[in-house]
Structure 1
């Protein structure tokens, strides 16, 4: 709904505000900020030397943010037109010249749906997202910062700055998107970056064995892809995130993959700074998963499980175990759904039937350990699925979604219908610490009556304070933690009577 106001209404309201300001503060000056509808965060990279030569290196779109923290950056922006790019670039260059700036810097703007734009701030440093500019311009910004500091002149003109293809950067955070993006800390028990590939760049500051503590920013790596088109760069992100194998902490790879596949993101123009809040109001539960990604997860899960069955059958002293035949019939259980699967192995070529679908698989590479990466070419397409062995099943991670998987013999699948499912324990009586962190304060006492939504405790992790609230009304029974305690994930803070 839109409300219409006359000029006299606006003047009357303005004068009322001035009178209130004069009465309260002794000063009738009023500051008014522009309200920007459907805002986008657009920034211009500038580069200036000590000889007065300043130019811009086009724009970056940093609109996808969570709690004002950037998550995805790309260049060029799918929203910015050539005319808008020229006007924003000219203003950024003018600002840098006005203050005598030299080196690399970034002028940031907020842009509205009508492509109007407004100055936000200038960052006089190299920013996290600088790789996307390097990809599309071919310029090494760190190198030019050093050369400018040494007194060199910029040898190129504004007209010579190129815009080659499209680049996307995603920020790989140590956080758990399945638990409200809570920070995650611990030791990297496994850290394997995707194998080098054309158009793929990984910037990181950690190695396997590094400790991710609660005292620093949660970003541990950046995934940068560069391709001729925006959609190709987004698809390359999904492929790279499938192959980024990190264990020991929770991370946001599934969420980043889901963003790259989201129809609104792929459309481009509808992405604003409110994108995540609007599209995930109830939190994140995994990418939706299309038919192809589910089929690929089923296929590689079945091959991994069948290979382990063969391995177990070959171990000495296994009673009543016979090696499976070259052609095997199984039933795959994926997230509770049962699907018949046939596997016909013929050396490097594997024929797979999943329901009525037939797949041709080559170059199957199972994980080298209990948990790891399974890869293969499925109908000519390179596919990777992360496999983790958990109690009674495998956890498969592919294309931003996690699945529970089991491979059953047909008879076992028939008996599955008669199994009584286990009821999980009731933990509603307890307030559990959702992530490793430091207790800042306990807001209640034993015996207090609390209402739903009431703050119970504050826990700090990775430079953020998290308020833990009551999910329902109740009475505090016993408090198990106090201010200053360092707690592990799911450690009991208090219990209700």
Structure 2
């Protein structure tokens, strides 16, 4: 076994690999850029080597710098994590030439699966189901109809040189195939100067389901069942689970066996993932093979009990797999939520800055449930603009899917992150969404359910009343504390009234409180009663309560006459007033937010790359106005309506904060 390995990566995956290496008694070497000098993976490793400036193309993906770090430290093997150099054939070859073990597949397998056309050809030769289609030259509409009928409707008619949706039609019958062929051909000719057309099966109700494979150098190849990754935004996975709520045993077995067949066909060793698209009839088709560890590997580990990183290390050291396919059973259900530094209320734009508060839920592992948090950050650390915005991967396990979802709800509500924008509210909202809870999901889920973007969750009435009851109980505790501090004479509890009016989410509830040493009973005017118990004290930012015996976790902040409460994707201002104060509050005019419609505001901290217009220009809806770079992604800011530019307040090269004014309109 290796004595020392180098992790050619950063962040949460570097920390994840270090944990397993430490468990195995293997020393670890971290590499770091200027931006990561104080990063968590650097603190956790036994050694750390500086490899260059912050940009990845000057540090983490410079092969020569990684090789120099290996020589300097005497590392015997390298784990690449994912991203960066993990699927770089030249890196794998450089390691092999230097006599260093690559904790991953052979360079030949990386090369074969890295090319989309080659990989699909190899998959078909290995007996893996691929999307039916015809890639040859199609002479005319009659031939297009014949080919479409052979493939089976619906089909996708595509321009060979297409892009941006041009030259693309879906046909559900012969007439639509005939018409679609001619339309696509005409569009392709006018848009690309190339009228070649191909036809392939159109997958309806698509779900993204992938198979985890593991192979050694002794001829053993197994699959560790599947992961459902259909909750995606712009092709970026957001929530994953294992197993899939959609597959049956027969489909699971067929997909697993085909994934293993492909791995064997390319001489694969180590951990890898074969990705499939699955339609509403459970027909599945090969997409691609990822020749590395996947981000979402923890959910597979939680349902199988297999440490994939450990097995990757052992395989790279020449050991045989310690189990067979028959040993790999599915135990329970696991969920993973990806916590990103991105603001869901601003169309998920990246957010950077200091984590002024970072308190993940406590990690636990019992027979009833598991909470696991893979992370690479810490409170007080910086979220850099140079790298992927992932903060953590929060995972839960339970004996069944419903319990795993409920454990995730509580864990998300318990996760405290302040100082930057983040997608915790969105993740919580998905966990409560009826379609997700039922398992009725496709890759179009987010686009279909949040077509106008995420504006925060609206809590159902039953949950809203539980929150109202909790707020009243907490307000009573705060009032008693104020009575004690003020030094009022007599029994301090006499100074705290029993009747209150709670307003939240545009609703008002009249309630009365009967308190005892164990908690408070809240009675609503319509007769509904809730029992609230908690050890919360004023000033604590997280309240853990039991309402009628069921857990309720709320992030709490103080506002006049009440609280700011965040849970289940909702951000609520909750007012708790005496009946007289509530009566007077109803007479107060509503304070409207300032009108910013005549300003282009910077939606995130970033660097102005380009200003596309000048003062006096007339702009049209959708026209590019400026480009701002953050986290190495360029974000084009467009006009929301027609108007005339009055003034430009920022120039290319300027560094802006959130809501800084870029330009004004007349």
TM-score in same-fold range (> 0.5)? yes
1:32 deviates by: 4.2
So what's the TM-score if we normalise by structure 1?
0.91
| Counterpart among 579, 592, 599 of residue 430 in structure 1 | 599
Task: Indicate yes or no: 2:218 matched with 1:218.
Answer: no
Tell me the equivalent position of 2:304: 137
The partner residue of 1:351 within 492, 502, 521 is: 521
- CA distance in 2 between counterparts of 1:490 and 1:362 reads 41
1:249 is aligned, of 420, 425, 449, to 420
- Any idea what SS the aligned residue of 2:230 has? coil
More helix by share: 2
Structure 2 CA distance for partners of 1:224 and 1:29, relative to 1, 3 Å? same
CA drift at 1:467 = 1.8
The alpha carbon displacement at 1:94 in A equals 1.0
1:309 to partner: Cα distance: 2.4
Selected match of 2:326 from 135, 159, 178: 159
Query: Matched residues in 2 for 1:323 and 1:61: separation?
Result: 54
What's 2:146 paired with?
A: none
Distance 1:359 1:34, change over 3 A: same
Q: For the residues of structure 2 that align with 1:7 and 1:170, how far apart are their CA atoms? A: 41
Select 2:614's aligned residue among 425, 445, 463. 445
Question: Deviation of residue 425 (structure 1)?
Answer: 2.1
List aligned pairs for 1:66-85, cutoff 5 A. 66-85=233-252
Matches for 1:84-95 after TM superposition, within 5 Å: 84-95=251-262
Q: Cα gap change, 1:283/1:11 in structure 2, threshold over 3 Å: closer, same or farther? A: closer
Rounded to whole Å, the distance in 2 between the matches of 1:68 and 1:199 is 28
Where does residue 168 of structure 1 map in the other structure?
335
The alignment partner of 2:534 has SS state of strand
Partners of 1:285 and 1:428 in 2: CA distance: 18
After superposition, what is the alpha-carbon deviation per residue over 1:187-244, rounded to whole angstroms, capped at 9, x for unaligned?
1111111123432111111111111122221210111111121121111111111111
Partner of 2:80: none
1:491 paired residue among 642, 648, 660: 660
Change (3 A) 1:121 1:350: same
Q: Kindly state the Cα deviation for residue 82 of structure 1 after the two structures are TM-superposed.
A: 1.2
Q: Residue by residue, what CA displacement relative to the aligned partner does 1:342-379 show, whole Å, maximum 9, x if unpaired? A: 2222112322223322122223323544xx11112211
User: Which residue of structure 1 aligns with residue 109 of structure 2?
Assistant: none
**CA pair 261-423 structure 1, distance change in 2 beyond 3 A:** closer
Identify the residue that residue 380 of structure 1 maps to in structure 2: 549
Q: Please tell me whether the aligned partners of residues 185 and 196 of structure 2 are also in contact (alpha carbons under 8 angstroms).
A: no
User: Alignment partner for residue 479 of structure 2, among 304, 309, 323?
Assistant: 309
Q: 1:178 is matched with which residue: 332, 345, 368?
A: 345
| Alpha-carbon distance in structure 2 between the residues aligned to 1:332 and 1:119 | 54
Equivalent residue in structure 2 for 1:240, among 403, 411, 415 = 411
Task: Report the 3-state secondary structure (helix = DSSP H, G, I; strand = E; otherwise coil) of the residue aligned with 2:218.
Answer: coil
Find the aligned partners of 2:346 and 2:550 in 1 and give their Cα distance.
Answer: 33
Structure-2 change in CA distance of 1:429 and 1:140 (3 Å): same
- In 2, the alpha carbon distance for the partners of 1:302 and 1:200 equals 30
Question: Structure 2 CA distance, aligned partners of 1:478 and 1:318?
Answer: 59
The whole-number CA distance in structure 2 between the counterparts of 1:332 and 1:11 is 59
Whole-angstrom CA distance in 1 between matches of 2:583 and 2:196? 78
SS of residue matched to 1:285: coil
Deviations 1:226-271, CA, capped at 9 Å, x for gaps = 1121121111111111111111112111211111111111221x31
* Structure-2-length-normalised TM-score: 0.69
| Counterpart position of 2:274 | 107
What's the Cα RMSD here? 2.8
**CA–CA distance in structure 2, aligned partners of residues 366 and 378 of structure 1:** 17
Determine the C-alpha separation between the residues in 2 that align with 1:98 and 1:398: 49
Identify the residue that residue 35 of structure 1 maps to in structure 2.
202
| Change beyond 3 A, Cα 1:8–1:425 | closer
Q: Is the 8 A contact 2:214 2:272 kept in 1?
A: yes
CA distance in 2, matches of 1:214, 1:426: 30
2:585 matched residue in structure 1: 416
Shift of 1:313: 2.7
Which residue of 2 is the match for residue 467 of structure 1? 636
Over residues 116-171 of structure 1, what are the superposed CA-to-partner deviations in whole Å (9 max), with x where a residue is unaligned?
22221111111110011011111111111111111111121111111111111111
- The gaps in structure 2 that reach 5 residues or longer are 1-169
CA contact 1:364–1:377 (8 Å) conserved in 2:
no
1:457 aligned to 2:626?
Answer: yes
CA 1:317/1:385 → structure 2, altered by over 3 Å: closer, same or farther? same
Partner of 2:216: 49
Distance 1:495 1:111, change over 3 A: same
Name the CA shift for 1:318/1:212 in 2 (closer, same or farther; >3 Å).
farther
Structure 1 window deviating more from structure 2 (190-199 vs 323-332): it is 323-332
Q: What is the CA–CA distance in structure 1 between the aligned matches of 2:189 and 2:564, rounded to whole Å? A: 62
Structure 2: distance between partners of 1:260 and 1:287: 11
Equivalent residue for 2:508?
338
Give the Cα separation in 2 of the matches to 1:202 and 1:450: 47
Regions of 4+ moved over 6 Å: 14-17
For 1:7 and 1:262, the matched residues in 2 are separated by 36
Instruction: Provide structure 1 residue ranges, at least 5 long, that are not aligned to the other structure.
Output: none
Single out whichever of 304-313 and 186-195 deviates more from structure 2. Answer: 304-313
> Using a 3 Å threshold, how does the CA distance of structure 1 residues 493 and 393 change in structure 2: closer, same or farther?
farther
Per-residue Cα deviation, 1:76-98 (whole angstroms, up to 9, x for no partner): 11111211111111111111111
Question: Equivalent residue for 1:284?
Answer: 454
Whose relative contact order is higher, 1 or 2, with alpha carbons under 8 Å and at least 6 apart? 1
CA contact (8 A) 1:327 1:345 kept: no
Shift of 1:464: 2.6
**Relative to structure 1, is the Cα distance of residues 195 and 9 closer, same or farther in structure 2, using a 3 angstrom cutoff?**
closer
Q: Distance in 2 between matches of 1:191 and 1:12?
A: 55
